[in-house]
Amino acid sequence: MYKVNEIFETIQGEGNYTGTPAIFLRLQGCPVGCSWCDTKHTWDIQPDLLIQLGDTTQKKADSDHWAQADAQAILALFQQRAYRAKHVVITGGEPCMYDLNPLCELLHQQGFSTQIETSGTFEILAPLQTWVTVSPKVNMKGGYEVLRSCLERANEIKHPVAMEKHVQELEQLLIGLDCQNKLIYLQPISQKAKATQLAIEACMAHNWRLSVQVHKYLGIN
């Protein structure tokens, strides 16, 4: 069973799949504690805030209400809503708190591609064909370490940056990691000009890529 905060269809605004129509499945629950998190309403699982799965598609603002559903129910909701996107982004919260194999395998059988966006602090339980985006969260309030196994599994590593120490954190994480088949992104926190310039300079210096959260510039979800 998965605890679902919201489901919506939009354009992926980050990383390799930027510009791709996608169904976002946001799961509830995250103990990592990132200070700049823009989805803090997904952190806690409060039993008295349980709602029906269909209501997760009707949210007009951030809410910590959540629904519980299995993979079949989630797929059925996609079909009921007649979503046209064939790429599913599983995010959170921290989606890797859950075993994502049953959900992803079912979606693949129905012709969807899947992507996970994770902090890299929980083991990734998902099929090999699932695209894994690790946005490593280092020295956060929750005290969780970024797992080497997550970095190794990642198809892309997308690191949030606001200051030079964040670039240095990524440099340390990549030591000894085979990045030949991985995409490495820097993503400025909160689209601030100083962070963006730092990210650009670091990308040029290391031959990394820049991710700029296109959806926020466009003013869409």
Number of domains in the chain: 1
Residue 101 lies in a domain: yes
Per-residue model confidence as pLDDT tens digits over 20-62: 999 999 999 999 998 878 899 999 999 999 999 999 999 989 9
pLDDT of residue 37: 87
Full residue range of the structural domain in which residue 85 is found: 2-159
Tell me if 56 is assigned to a ligand binding site. no
37 is in an annotated binding site: yes
194 in a domain, yes or no?
A: no
217 pLDDT more than 60: no
**Considering the domain boundaries, does residue 207 fall inside one?**
no
34 labeled binding residue:
yes
Is 91 assigned to a binding site? yes
pLDDT at 191: 72
Q: Report whether 133 belongs to an annotated binding site.
A: no
Token pair of 140, please? 């956060």
The answer to whether 166 touches 159, Cβ cutoff 8 Å, is yes
- Per the prediction, the chain carries an average pLDDT of 93
* pLDDT for the residue numbered 214: 67
More confident residue, 56 or 138: 56
62 found inside a domain: yes
How much is the CA Rg of the chain, to the nearest whole Å?
17
What's the CATH number where 155 sits?
Answer: 3.20.20.70
Of the chain, the percentage scoring pLDDT greater than 90 comes to: 86
196 is in an annotated binding site: no
- Residue 198 belongs to some domain of the structure: no
| pLDDT at site 215 | 65
Average pLDDT over residues 164-182: 95
**Three-state secondary structure readout of the chain:** CEEEEEEEEEECCCHHHCCCEEEEEEECCCCCCCCCCCCHHHCCCCHHHECCHHHHHCCCCCCCCEEEECHHHHHHHHHHCCCCCCEEEEECCCHHHCCCHHHHHHHHHCCCEEEEEECCCCCCCCCCCCEEEECCCCCCCCCCCCCHHHHHHCCEEEEEECCHHHHHHHHHHHCCCCCCCCEEEEEEHHHCHHHHHHHHHHHHHHCCEECCCHHHHHCCC
pLDDT band at 216 (very low <50, low <70, confident <90, very high): low
Residue 149 labelled as part of a binding site: no
66 is in an annotated binding site: no
Judge whether 204 lies within some domain: no
Query: Which pLDDT belongs to residue 138?
Result: 86
- Binned at pLDDT 50, 70 and 90, residue 212 comes out as confident
Encode pLDDT of 92-132 as tens digits. 999 999 999 999 999 999 999 999 999 999 999 999 999 99
Determine the average pLDDT of the residues in 190-199.
86
- On the question of pLDDT at 10 being above 70, the answer is yes
Task: Answer yes or no: is 38 a known binding residue.
Answer: yes
For residue 141, is it within any domain? Answer: yes
Say what the pLDDT of residue 109 is: 98
To the question of whether residue 93 is assigned a binding role by annotation, the answer is: yes
Six-digit token string for 59: 């949210």
157 is in an annotated binding site: no
Whether 63 is in a domain gets the answer: yes
